[in-house]
Amino acid sequence: MTGLLVLVLAACGPDADQVVLGIRSDNPAVREDMVEFARKFDEPRVVGALMQAIEDPSEAIRTKAVQSLAALEHRGATAPLVDRLAVEPSADVRREIVDALGRIADERAVPPLLLVAETSPPDEVPLNVIWALGTIGDRRALAALTRLREEAKDPYVVYNANVALRNLR
């Protein structure tokens, strides 16, 4: 039924207000479909609804909301994503948040990403954290990435740290 709702909305050309209403629906299936559909709307009210949806009780909805914010690459989403990273219980959603922060490439994401890189053993730093730091390209990541390149034994960590370091030039 919810797939039908999305098809009907797509055929009718929903506007941003309809998308926002769908994201705020009481029906979790509608919310899940609409947070995914929202990535086609780079409008402030849709982005705002997506930023609220990253707090949804449903992990699937949080995941899709983060993915939609990443697709929109909206810098205004950085602070809510950083805040959510600190409290998100799901490792899968945290991984999506890190990916989104890397795609958005806002320097405000560097401190929390560095915290993950600096507090994890060198061989256990998530590769997407290394990628995000390199993609953002902020020189504050230089020491952490150099440490990973020198101390990690995992060749994937070393390789990704080298690639990230090249992006800091």
User: What CATH number is given to the structural domain containing 27?
Assistant: 1.25.10.10
Same structural domain, 88 and 164? no
77 and 7 belong to one structural domain: yes
Q: Which two tokens stand for residue 119?
A: 């507090």
Residue pLDDT, tens place only, 64-84: 999 999 999 989 999 999 999
In this prediction, residue 142 carries a pLDDT of 97
Sequence-ordered list of residues with C-beta below 8 angstroms from that of 116, at least 6 positions apart, any chain: 98, 125, 126, 129
Number of structural domains the chain divides into: 2
- Confidence (pLDDT) at 169: 67
Which of 83, 104, 125 delimits the end of a domain? 104
Based on the fold, state whether residues 98 and 67 are members of the same structural domain.
yes
State the residue range of the domain holding 154: 109-169
**Are residues 89 and 132 both part of a single domain?**
no
Domain identity same for 83 and 114: no
Q: Could you report the per-residue pLDDT of 10-67, keeping only the tens digit for each?
A: 555 678 999 999 999 999 999 999 999 999 999 999 999 999 999 999 999 999 999 9
The reply to whether 2 and 79 lie within a common domain is yes
**Residue type for position 100:** A
| Residue with token string 């205004």 | 76
Q: Rounded to whole angstroms, how far apart are CA atoms 19 and 37?
A: 8
Is 95 in the same domain as 13?
A: yes
AA identity, residue 101: L
Question: Could you tell me if 69 and 113 lie in one domain?
Answer: no
Q: 163 and 85, same structural domain? A: no
